[in-house]
Amino acid sequence: MANWIRNTPALAGQFVPGMPGYRECRRCVMDTSMVEIEFDDEGTCNFCRGYDLKVKAVELASAEKERKLTALLEAIRADGKGRDYDCILGLSGGVDSSYLALKCKDWGLRPLLVQFDNGWNTELANHNIQVVCEKLGFDLHTYVVDWPEFRDLQLSFLKAGLANLEAPSDHGIFACIYREAEAQKIPWLMSGVNNATEACCPIGEKSKYRFGYGYRYSDLVHLKAVHRRFGSVRLKTYPMMGILKRMWLERKVKIKRFDPLNFLAYDKKAAIAELQERLGWRPYEGKHFESVITRFHQSYILPRKFALDKRRLHLSGLIWSGQLDRAQALTELARPPCPPEMVEQDRQFFVKKLRLSESEFDAMMQAEAKEYSDYPNLNRTFNNIPRITHWLRLLVRLGRKS
């Protein structure tokens, strides 16, 4: 049994490698360390079914994709006439967002790039952000967090025993992008979200209520509740965006979301090569290892406290999109997520930066793992948004007729 994975189950219903009851999908590499996994008679999991239903079913033929992409790009250019920017894009310095910025240039778009500086960026990420902006000539809006506030918020999630330590960063960038779109009246929100390198949501009742990797970052009620209970610094400047404000903004500024990478034959290796050649962009190991906290979270905290290896999600995504075969993914998984010396270096940095003592951090790692549902949340409301919007539309229509 690999020593970077803890050998006791962290959550009820979780089975890790080496335990009786452990199972791995026959098609992808998802396994019973994900509490929401379910298998069919053939031994294929509900993440595979999620991919088939949600992605493959709507997968367009390449000619159709091209036609749709051209039409969308035209709409973006038209909506942007007379404005400083026609779209907005969060830039982390990682492959997906950098590649999307490069494509925006090729398509003749004028994006405003937004960076959320949470204080954890690697030198490499800063270099990549700099070359993307300089070589492409795009404006960059950098939001720098107030460190005492942000540290307190991240510590709250750590103290709460929640797997989603990245929620404060993810919510922050999401709120910054919406705020900036409102201030500058930018109608299109681009994202590097893609089906080729990111795993799909599982299908099934269980997956509506259980989240092995952490709960949705957009739930402000949850974020505030966790901070209220475990934090001590008032959040005066941290950007926040509640569900109602977001829905109102989407109506007022008419913000439309667009994930262009899903309209391209997006191949990660080829994208990296193109970024290196055209921009002098530099690659890094792992998915989202451009940030120290992400790297440490995925290679130490998640595996050791929650018995979760996030690479299973990324590698499964690559298997589904035909960029990797299962045997290659298993070879990759047999290696530790990050070289041990780097993990140790990151651990020391992490403890020091959060102003923890070694024993305080160890106690947090040993403490019981919790689920989002142990704290106030709006999961039910989020799950019902499509139904609520459907009824609201119907009511509005009926109101107009009468």
Compare residues 109 and 196 and give the one whose CB is closer to Zn ion: 196
Give, as one character, the DSSP assignment of residue 301.
I
Q: Is 35 in the site for Zn ion (CB under 5 A)?
A: no
Q: Is 37 in the site for Zn ion (CB under 5 A)?
A: no
Please tell me whether residue 25 binds Zn ion under the rule CB under 5 A.
yes
Helix (H) or strand (E) holding 188: strand 188-190
Retrieve residue 219's tokens.
């739930």
* 5 lies in the binding site for Zn ion (CB under 5 A): no
Query: With respect to Zn ion, which residue has the nearer C-beta, 56 or 229?
Result: 56
* Secondary structure (DSSP) of 134-156: HHHT-EEEEEEP-HHHHHHHHHH
* Part in contact with Zn ion (CB under 5 A); list of ranges 37-45, 206-214, 351-359, 362-370: 37-45
Nearer to Zn ion, 41 or 368 (CB): 41
Contacts of 141 (CB under 8 A, 6+ apart): 112, 113, 114, 115, 176, 180
Beta bridge pairs of residue 121: 291
CB of 42 to Zn ion, least distance (A): 10
**Looking at 4-12, 30-38, 122-130, 321-329, which segment touches Zn ion (CB under 5 A)?**
30-38
Calculate helix-pair angle for 95-106, 123-136, nearest 10 degrees. Answer: 0
- Of 27 and 227, which has the nearer Cβ to Zn ion? 27
Q: 25 or 165, CB closer to Zn ion? A: 25
d(C-alpha 135, C-alpha 279), whole Å: 6
Least distance (Å) from Zn ion to the CB of residue 28? 3
**Interaction between residue 318 and Zn ion (CB under 5 A):** no
Output 57 or 398, the one with its CB closest to Zn ion.
57
Distance CA 137, CA 42 (A): 52
Q: Does 45 bind Zn ion (CB under 5 A)?
A: yes
Contact flag: residue 48 with Zn ion (CB under 5 A): yes
As beta bridge partners, residue 39 has: 45
Q: 24 phi and psi, to 5 degrees?
A: -125, 145
Q: H/E element holding 114?
A: strand 111-117
Tokens 């193109």 found at: 274
From the list 39-47, 219-227, 378-386, 393-401, the region that binds Zn ion by CB under 5 A is 39-47
* Span of 5-13, 46-54, 77-85, 380-388 interacting with Zn ion by CB under 5 A: 46-54
Buried b (16+ CB within 10 A) or exposed e, 326-336: beebeebbeeb
Exposure of 54 by Cβ count < 10 A (0-12 exposed, 13-18 middle, 19+ buried)?
middle
Most distant CA pair in the chain: distance in Å? 70
203 binds Zn ion (CB under 5 A): no
Smallest gap from residue 25 Cβ to Zn ion (A): 3
28 in contact with Zn ion (CB under 5 A): yes
What is the nearest approach in angstroms of Zn ion to the Cβ of residue 318? 13
Question: By C-alpha distance, which of 98, 80, 122, 24 is closest to 261?
Answer: 98
How far apart (Å, rounded) are the C-alpha atoms in residues 191 and 196? Answer: 14
**Closest distance between Zn ion and the C-beta of residue 241, in Å?**
33
**Binding-site size, Zn ion (CB under 5 A):** 7
Nearest approach, Cβ of residue 36 and Zn ion (Å)? 12
Closest to Zn ion by CB, 28 or 153:
28
Closest approach, Cβ 41 to Zn ion, in A, equals 14
- When asked if residue 34 is in the footprint of Zn ion (CB under 5 A), the reply is no
**Between residues 39 and 209, which has the closer beta carbon with respect to Zn ion?**
39
Q: Where are the alpha helices (DSSP H) in 4-79?
A: 46-50, 62-79
Interface region with Zn ion, contact rule CB under 5 A, candidates 17-25, 292-300, 349-357, 380-388: 17-25
Q: Is 199 in the site for Zn ion (CB under 5 A)?
A: no
> Whose Cβ is closer to Zn ion: residue 52's or residue 146's?
52
Residue numbers of the site for Zn ion (CB under 5 A)? 25, 27-28, 30, 45, 47-48
